[in-house]
Amino acid sequence: MGTCGAVSHDFNSPIGALRSSAETVLCLAGRISPAPAEKREELLAALKELCVAVRDSSERLYSIIARIQRFTNLDRAEVQSIDLNILLQDVVTMFQSQAKGNVRVEMNLRTVPRLVCRPQQLSGVFSTLFSHAMHVAGEEGTIRLTTRQRDGWIDICLQEEGGGISSSELAAIFHLNFGVSENRISSGNWSLFSSRHFVREHGGDITIARLGKTGLTVTVTLPLKQLEDSTRDNPRS
Q: Are residues 83 and 200 in the same domain?
A: yes
The residue among 92 and 6 whose pLDDT is bigger is 92
Query: What average pLDDT does the segment 182-198 reach?
Result: 67
- Residues spanned by the domain of 11: 2-71
Question: Is 204 part of any domain?
Answer: yes
Pick from 37, 71, 105: which residue ends a domain?
A: 71
Q: What angle do CA 202, 205, 209 make, to 5 degrees?
A: 160
Q: Are residues 96 and 171 in the same domain?
A: yes
- Sequence-ordered strand ranges (E) for 86-226: 104-109, 115-117, 142-150, 153-161, 177-181, 184-188, 205-211, 215-223
Domain CATH code at residue 136:
3.30.565.10
Most confidently modeled of 53-57, 115-119, 188-192?
A: 115-119
Question: Is 182 part of any domain?
Answer: yes
Q: Can you tell me the distance from the alpha carbon of 115 to that of 223, in angstroms, rounded to the nearest whole number?
A: 8
Least confident of 32-36, 66-70, 147-151: 66-70
Most confidently modeled of 56-60, 62-66, 178-182?
A: 56-60
Q: Are residues 28 and 63 in the same domain?
A: yes
The residue among 112 and 216 whose pLDDT is bigger is 112
130 Cα distance to chain centroid = 8
Residue 176: which pLDDT band, with cuts at 50, 70 and 90?
A: low
Query: What average pLDDT does the segment 8-14 reach?
Result: 62
Tally of domains within the chain:
2
Question: Is 234 part of any domain?
Answer: no
Residue 91: which pLDDT band, with cuts at 50, 70 and 90?
A: confident
Q: Are residues 56 and 135 in the same domain?
A: no
**CA proximity to 85, closest of 75, 97, 93, 73:** 93
Most confidently modeled of 12-16, 109-113, 216-220, 231-235?
A: 109-113
Q: Are residues 67 and 120 in the same domain?
A: no
Quote the pLDDT of residue 94.
Answer: 77
How many other C-beta atoms are found inside a 10 Å radius of the C-beta of residue 218? 24
Model confidence, pTM: 0.61
Q: Are residues 67 and 104 in the same domain?
A: no
Question: Is 235 part of any domain?
Answer: no
Q: Are residues 95 and 153 in the same domain?
A: yes
| CA dihedral sign, ordered 4, 7, 9, 15 | negative
Q: Are residues 6 and 87 in the same domain?
A: no
Bridge partners of 233?
none
Q: What is the chain's length?
A: 237
Query: What average pLDDT does the segment 88-102 reach?
Result: 78
Question: Is 237 part of any domain?
Answer: no
Question: Is 129 part of any domain?
Answer: yes
Most confidently modeled of 32-41, 86-95, 178-187?
A: 86-95
Phi, psi of 159 (to 5 degrees): -105, 130
> Given a cut of 80, is residue 164 above it in pLDDT?
no
Residue 178: which pLDDT band, with cuts at 50, 70 and 90?
A: very low
Strands 142-150 and 104-109, by their bridges, are parallel
